[in-house]
Amino acid sequence: MQPDLQPVQNNYATPISASQGVSAEQRVLRNTYLLLAVSMIPTGIGAMIGVTLDFGFMRASPIVASIAMLAIVYGMFFAIEKNRDSGIGVALLLVLTLFLGVMLGPVLQMTLGLRNGGQLVALAAGGTAAVFFAMAGIASVTRKNFGFMSNFLAVGTIVVMLAVIANIFFASPALHLTICAAFVLLSSAMILWQVSEIIHGGETNYISATLTLYVSVYNLFTSLLQLLTGLGSRD
């Protein structure tokens, strides 16, 4: 996701005067973290719903189901970005996080079906939190501008998504685990880059910033969980 370099004049991305003691970058970062935290609520609710549902229709037609899910998710991405300067963007973001929470159902069902499934979920959640705070901390403490990573991340995202689409048809377990490992690295780098962009004024809209960070955290968690589940199922 490319940063918006043009500041917009609205309540969602308007610089604060120095007299208020808080810089525009600090305000965007604070609002981003707050909205990201709030977005975890519908995600958790969706996940609890998802583990109770029957996803047999997805297993019956995995290709159709995968393509349909990608279409819905990317359609929501477009709608959120289109409305990122209003409260509608926040509402759409929360709807997306609820939907993605429900879509955690299949992998959670698979993992929780293992003898140590609960431990694997907790380990994946803990690993996700550790990576997020580590990457955000590096960007905040070092104050280094990681904007140079944007082209690498753009190319990496395209390559990984092409691999995801290819594996919809190939259904290769080895390729799937490789993609998960790539997502772990790519998502970690994306968190570092996005927080750096906010700190250095490259991203002035907290809804867009939250969307990028949320997707990175979501992909990081699901990828770690699938890697752990794949290894755990072999024990």
* DSSP characters over 169-217: HH--HHHHHHHHHHHHHHHHHHHHHHHHHHHTTS---HHHHHHHHHHHH
Q: Does some domain include residue 204?
A: yes
As a whole number, the mean pLDDT across the chain is 88
Report the C-alpha gap between 205 and 31 in whole angstroms: 9
CA 61 to chain centre: 25
Q: Choose between 232 and 31: higher pLDDT.
A: 31
Q: What is the DSSP string of 14-74?
A: PPPPGGGT--HHHHHHHHHHHHHHHHHHHHHHHHHHHTTS--HHHHHSHHHHHHHHHHHHH
pLDDT for 122 = 96
Q: Is residue 146 part of a domain?
A: yes
**What is the mean predicted confidence (pLDDT) over 153-165?**
92
Whether 178 is in a domain gets the answer yes
Domain that holds residue 170: 20-232
* pLDDT reported for residue 6: 37
Largest interatomic CA distance in the chain: 60
8, part of any domain? no
pLDDT by residue (tens digit) across 62-86? 888 888 998 999 999 999 999 999 9
What b/e readout covers 39-54, taking b as 16+ CB neighbours within 10 angstroms? Answer: beebbeebbeebbeee
The confidence band for 2, taking pLDDT boundaries of 50, 70 and 90, is very low
User: Residue 180 domain-assigned?
Assistant: yes
Query: pLDDT class for 8, splitting at 50, 70, 90?
Result: very low
% the chain with pLDDT above 70: 89
Section 22-49 average pLDDT: 95
Residue 34 has pLDDT above 70, yes or no: yes
4, part of any domain: no
pLDDT confidence of residue 9:
35
Separation of CA 79 from chain center? 16
Distance CA 191, CA 20 (A): 28
pLDDT of residue 93: 98
Q: What is the pLDDT of residue 168?
A: 83
**Looking at the domain assignment, is residue 6 inside a domain?**
no
Per-residue model confidence (pLDDT) at position 235: 52
Q: How far apart are CA 140 and CA 83, in angstroms?
A: 28
- Residue 217 pLDDT level (bands cut at 50, 70, 90): very high
Q: Which residue has the higher pLDDT, 147 or 2?
A: 147
Note the pLDDT of residue 165.
Answer: 87
Number of domains in the chain: 1
When pLDDT is cut at 50, 70 and 90, the band that residue 227 belongs to is: very high
Specify the pLDDT at position 119.
94
pLDDT digits (tens, 9 = 90+) for 9-26: 344 444 433 435 568 999
pTM, two decimals, is: 0.86
pLDDT at 232: 64
Would 76 be classed as within a structural domain?
yes
